[in-house]
Structure 1
Amino acid sequence: MSERVPVLIVGAGLSGLSTAVFLGLHGTRSLVVERHASTSSHPKARGQQQHTMEALRLAGLEAEFTAASPKSRGFLLRIAESASGPVFREILHDTFLPMGHLTPASAADASQANAERILLARARELGAEVRFGTTLESFEQDDAGVRAVLADAGGNRIVQADYLVAADGHRSPIREQLGIGTHGRGTLGHSIHWLVRADLSHVVGDRQVMYYLQNPRLSGGTGVLASTDRADEFVVGVGFDPRREGLADFTEQRRLEQIRLATGVPDLQVEILQANTTEIGMRVADRFSDGRVYLVGDAAHTMPPQGGMGGNTAVMDGFYLAWKLDAVLRGEAGPGLLDSHDAERRPVGELIAENQYRNALVRNLPDRAVEGDAPIEDPALLMFGYRHNGAVVREPGDAGELLEDPTRPTGRPGSRAPHVVLTTPTGEVSTIDLFGRGFVLLTGSAQWARTAERVATELGVRLRPQLIGGETTGDWTGPYGVREDGAVLVRPDRFIAWRSPGPGTAADLEKALRTVLDR
């Protein structure tokens, strides 16, 4: 039995389902296969930071993620001996960091289990087919596409796909078959995590909490305690050395002792619901693509959890890859556009993974930190300050820096389009909400708007002019680095592709689009 799909996605975690959602948003069908019987039932990674919520907002999911966030008075992030104290350092207290000056989106705190559930439903709404209990047995690729052998309870079947997305986790059999190595800091340690039910209301109140624990009495000297979606359930983790011990060595008495040490409640009554082990490390794939295969999520980069960017980066991998796959499949772009997946996402993956590693040292293993290991403390810089230097028209004098201060936007190609509030007859909107489907040409010039319509028709490219002036007003020219009679070409992923500081010609715009789209 054989079938054909435009995109085959292996793995129905955060990165795989996000890729399917954003492909569907652009109008491209995908098939997602997952070896497990369902999406994750474990809380795992939680929290969607504002840059991720911008993408989810474009997909119509902002309200659902907000609703799936636990209702509490706030959020605490602390380095401490135990949840009861003493506290060595408080990183966040009672609220997410305010980002209203940079984005119209607010952070959410949905668990990975809820996030995957929401993404699965939306992917199916947008035309994706998702099959659980299905494994990728083998695949081969050539210039015409990818031939994959899938196995499920009914036997084997052949799928022909134009492209394959590897969202198959940190061990990634796809990555290994392609012979793609990894680099990075390697293994940082191992931990045992228990999902426990206990009443800690007298310790944490009704807040969501994340405690990174430093306590020599804990196994490995380190630990973590984190809230889940239920007020009476928590994840408690401690370090261990797999060369000397395993789950079986943590007897009932030892488990209870470690959990009570982590909570700081000596007589705590605990019910242990689940137990598992995990390796904590930092590795990045040597390349994020090979022929017609593209790596996303943990297949592309694994990192310690400290900093909360792992799951967010997985979602954003799918967001940034989907529009490129769609453009090539539609014939709007040449295959070279997809080369930018590695060029753009690998430097960002390396940056974020390295920063998470440094956070892990500071929060759990300060004795292992050396000079120069300080993490980037400004979350806005990691969320909104990274630049993409692939499918853009670089300007003279641009050295291709990976980061720029998002509070002082330059409007340079490769940078995120700044958030500017515009006033319209129906109310205020953010420039961010103008993007997400096709290219947008921001301009205050009616001539540029007419030029964009003509070039879009001639090239067969989804390009919409957005005229700012008349009934739609706002102080947008400074942040975007142009005059009123200039123009800024914004990609579907809200990154700036090209700009003209003042008047220009149809040939200028056409050349820019051809460059970005490999036409």
Structure 2
Amino acid sequence: MSDQRVPVLIVGAGLSGLSTATFLGLHGVPALVVERHPTTSQHPKAYGQYPHVMEALRLAGLERRYLEASVLQDVRIMIGVSMAGPIFHTIDEALWPDLSALTTAAWGGAGQDRSEPILADRARELGATIRFSTEVVSFEQDDEGVTVVLRDIPTGERSTVRADYLVAADGHRGGIRGRLGIGGHGRGLLHRLMDVHFEADVPADLPASGHVLMHLQNPELPGGYGDLGNPEQLNRYLFGVRLDERTQAEDLTEERWLELIRIAVGVPDLPVKLTRRGEEPVEIRHWIADRIRDGRVFLVGDAVRIVPPNGGFGGNTAVMDGFYLAWKLAMVVNGQAGPGLLDSYEPERYPYAETIAAHGLAAFLRAEGQELGEDAMQADPDPVSQLYFGYRHISDAIVREADDDGAPMENPERPTGRPGSRAPHVPLVKDGADISSIELLGRSFVLLTGAEGEPWAAAAAQAAAELGIELAVHRIGGDGGLTDPANTWATTYGVTESGATLVRPDFYVAWRSRDASGTTELTGALRAVLDR
């Protein structure tokens, strides 16, 4: 007999686990989160949130909190020998590309040490319970649920939890994936590094002065490489060097760290104060799980893929894993969808995991000055915004059109509005205030229609009543105070003013009808998407 029954048990209180708990709560499902560490991450890493992530966080009521916690707005990314030069490449102009044509969301700049507490607080506000210093002893799944034995680490006390579903957000080494027998592939370990925090007043006239994230290519450093950054305060730095056959962790004494720091800065007599030294090596890996679902267990975050930190895709993708999985779990748990909806998780998210792993590997190899190889993305998509707004979801939870070519990506700057694509941003005005069409989405399924789309309201009401779901209808250009000043929404979404577009809670187009002739097909489309 279990001590507790929960709809969803999440193992891991990192970015992916806390995101899953937050968005489950947003859709009315309180989750139990267990984490073996005593707190959220204390390490300043995984900086930055892409605008598509900020859109999801806006939906969760967290956009302002993230912007207030952001520290990366004025950071340059540089590659060179030292802060004193020579500098090989500066990519500050690409750090925050202008995506204002695609979204009204800003770039975020919060680190993981600030991001995780924000998510944890919001998850609790939405009903989640988080138990730190708690580890999984064992789990067993059957046709009805998952039984998990937990252990409170400080006391050793064990308890049993029965959950409808288990989410493995326990990272690459967490154990859930391994116990399921799910393997992985990729280059594996790329390198190991040790890091140190230090304070120093770096001369303002150095080429890499100011806020910087710097990839060092310097033969005087162990392995010839290093990473140096001060995203939060000008005089506080994080510095990492490689471990190799000539340099091991025990070789990095205080004297050796001071020597290496001065080499990295390029000032031999620089006064330096060490403030914290890393206790164990950090591993940089390229790895992807062979599958991301096993029955009632779903993998998210680093349990799915490990990518080098270049580009910041690991943390961003972890947050979005939770966003994309949570609404599906919630609708199944709440009896609004059949279990087949969950079959769409792997075909929709796995191709993107592979893409992001290839992109992250390529960014890492370029920073190292190495050849890319076949498993690395040879060139960024053109435009690069495809990585954020252009990837498509192809699964049975989408009603694909007959002429759909199945392309995994499309150019979001020339949106098609077709099912499987992300709902495009269109500037609208609601009750006199400027909004994005994206701000109409996310809480439930949404039906967008135009000035001539009055028949869709009745069709939507009938479908919602028949299926027992919430289906919001927004008539753009009708008499409800929602207008399209540029008269572009219908063209952008590929319909007429009498047509309609059905959008899922994750901002993806599920189905569309180019005109009002499809009103009789709406319920059937929803049944197909929801496995009803």
- TM-score using structure 2 length: 0.93
Determine the structure 1 residue equivalent to 2:355. Answer: 351
Q: Conserved in 2, the CA contact under 8 Å of 1:417 and 1:495?
A: yes
Q: Conserved in 1, the CA contact under 8 Å of 2:84 and 2:208?
A: no
Aligned in 2, Cα 1:147/1:500: closer, same or farther, shift over 3 Å?
Answer: same
Determine the structure 1 residue equivalent to 2:212. Answer: 209
Please state if 1:124 is matched with 2:132.
no
Determine the structure 2 residue equivalent to 1:285. Answer: 289
Q: Structure 1 residue aligned with 2:428, among 417, 422, 426?
A: 422
1:478 partner letter: T
1:22 partner letter: F
Larger deviation, residues 116-125 vs 227-236: 227-236
1:221 partner letter: G
CA distance in 2, matches of 1:261, 1:244: 17
Q: Secondary structure at the match of 2:194?
A: strand
Aligned in 2, Cα 1:197/1:94: closer, same or farther, shift over 3 Å?
Answer: farther
Q: Conserved in 2, the CA contact under 8 Å of 1:197 and 1:273?
A: no
Aligned in 2, Cα 1:185/1:399: closer, same or farther, shift over 3 Å?
Answer: farther
Determine the structure 2 residue equivalent to 1:511. Answer: 524
Determine the structure 2 residue equivalent to 1:456. Answer: 464
Instruction: Give unmatched runs, 5+ long, in structure 2.
Output: none
Please state if 1:135 is matched with 2:135.
yes
Determine the structure 1 residue equivalent to 2:437. Answer: 431
Q: For residue 249 of structure 1, report the CA deviation from its aligned partner.
A: 1.5
Please state if 1:388 is matched with 2:389.
no
Determine the structure 1 residue equivalent to 2:483. Answer: 473
Q: For residue 228 of structure 1, report the CA deviation from its aligned partner.
A: 4.2
1:473 partner letter: T
Q: Secondary structure at the match of 1:194?
A: strand
1:303 partner letter: V
CA distance in 2, matches of 1:172, 1:382: 28
Q: Secondary structure at the match of 1:368?
A: coil
Larger deviation, residues 389-398 vs 232-241: 232-241
Q: For residue 6 of structure 1, report the CA deviation from its aligned partner.
A: 0.6
Q: For residue 457 of structure 1, report the CA deviation from its aligned partner.
A: 1.0
Q: For residue 227 of structure 1, report the CA deviation from its aligned partner.
A: 2.2
Determine the structure 2 residue equivalent to 1:501. Answer: 514
CA RMSD across the alignment: 1.8
Q: Structure 1 residue aligned with 2:503, among 475, 490, 512?
A: 490
Q: For residue 206 of structure 1, report the CA deviation from its aligned partner.
A: 8.3
Please state if 1:170 is matched with 2:183.
no
User: 1:122-162: CA deviations, max 9, x gaps?
Assistant: 11111100011111111000011000001003400000000
Q: Secondary structure at the match of 2:181?
A: coil
Q: For residue 267 of structure 1, report the CA deviation from its aligned partner.
A: 2.0
CA distance in 2, matches of 1:254, 1:206: 23
Please state if 1:229 is matched with 2:232.
yes
Determine the structure 1 residue equivalent to 2:105. Answer: 105
Q: For residue 506 of structure 1, report the CA deviation from its aligned partner.
A: 4.2
Please state if 1:62 is matched with 2:95.
no
1:389 partner letter: I
Larger deviation, residues 450-459 vs 161-170: 450-459
CA distance in 2, matches of 1:96, 1:373: 21
Q: Conserved in 1, the CA contact under 8 Å of 2:85 and 2:208?
A: no
Question: Runs in 1 of length 4+ with deviation above 4 angstroms?
Answer: 203-207, 370-373
Q: For residue 424 of structure 1, report the CA deviation from its aligned partner.
A: 2.2
Q: For residue 94 of structure 1, report the CA deviation from its aligned partner.
A: 9.3
Aligned in 2, Cα 1:496/1:340: closer, same or farther, shift over 3 Å?
Answer: same
Q: Conserved in 1, the CA contact under 8 Å of 2:83 and 2:209?
A: no
Determine the structure 2 residue equivalent to 1:303. Answer: 307
CA distance in 2, matches of 1:334, 1:135: 31
CA distance in 1, matches of 2:515, 2:202: 61
Q: Secondary structure at the match of 1:99?
A: coil
Q: Conserved in 2, the CA contact under 8 Å of 1:306 and 1:360?
A: yes
The structure richer in strand per residue is 1
Alignment of 1:339-378 (within 5 A): 339-364=343-368, 366-370=369-373, 374-376=378-380, 378=383
Q: Conserved in 1, the CA contact under 8 Å of 2:85 and 2:207?
A: no
User: 1:308-354: CA deviations, max 9, x gaps?
Assistant: 11100000000000000001001111111111111111100110111
User: 1:456-506: CA deviations, max 9, x gaps?
Assistant: 111111211111113322120111111111110000010111111112344
Larger deviation, residues 445-454 vs 136-145: 445-454
Determine the structure 2 residue equivalent to 1:402. Answer: 408
Determine the structure 2 residue equivalent to 1:115. Answer: 115
User: 1:277-334: CA deviations, max 9, x gaps?
Assistant: 1221111111111000000000011000111111000000000000000010011111
Determine the structure 1 residue equivalent to 2:83. Answer: 83
User: Percentage identity across aligned positions?
Assistant: 51
CA distance in 1, matches of 2:528, 2:202: 58
Q: Secondary structure at the match of 2:447?
A: strand
CA distance in 1, matches of 2:4, 2:267: 57
Q: Conserved in 2, the CA contact under 8 Å of 1:441 and 1:489?
A: yes
User: 1:15-54: CA deviations, max 9, x gaps?
Assistant: 0000011001111000000001100111011111111101
1:329 partner letter: V
Please state if 1:273 is matched with 2:299.
no
CA distance in 1, matches of 2:365, 2:418: 34
Larger deviation, residues 157-166 vs 180-189: 180-189
Aligned in 2, Cα 1:499/1:236: closer, same or farther, shift over 3 Å?
Answer: same
User: 1:89-141: CA deviations, max 9, x gaps?
Assistant: 11124962221110010001111000001111111111100011111111000
Instruction: Give unmatched runs, 5+ long, in structure 1.
Output: none
1:462 partner letter: E
1:351 partner letter: T
Q: For residue 71 of structure 1, report the CA deviation from its aligned partner.
A: 7.6
CA distance in 2, matches of 1:273, 1:138: 36
- TM-score using structure 1 length: 0.96
User: 1:369-397: CA deviations, max 9, x gaps?
Assistant: 35875341644121111111122111112
Determine the structure 1 residue equivalent to 2:182. Answer: 180
Determine the structure 1 residue equivalent to 2:328. Answer: 324
Q: Conserved in 1, the CA contact under 8 Å of 2:446 and 2:472?
A: yes
1:510 partner letter: T
Q: Secondary structure at the match of 1:234?
A: strand
CA distance in 1, matches of 2:235, 2:207: 11
Aligned in 2, Cα 1:94/1:362: closer, same or farther, shift over 3 Å?
Answer: closer
Q: Conserved in 2, the CA contact under 8 Å of 1:5 and 1:162?
A: yes
Q: Secondary structure at the match of 1:22?
A: helix
CA distance in 2, matches of 1:204, 1:454: 65
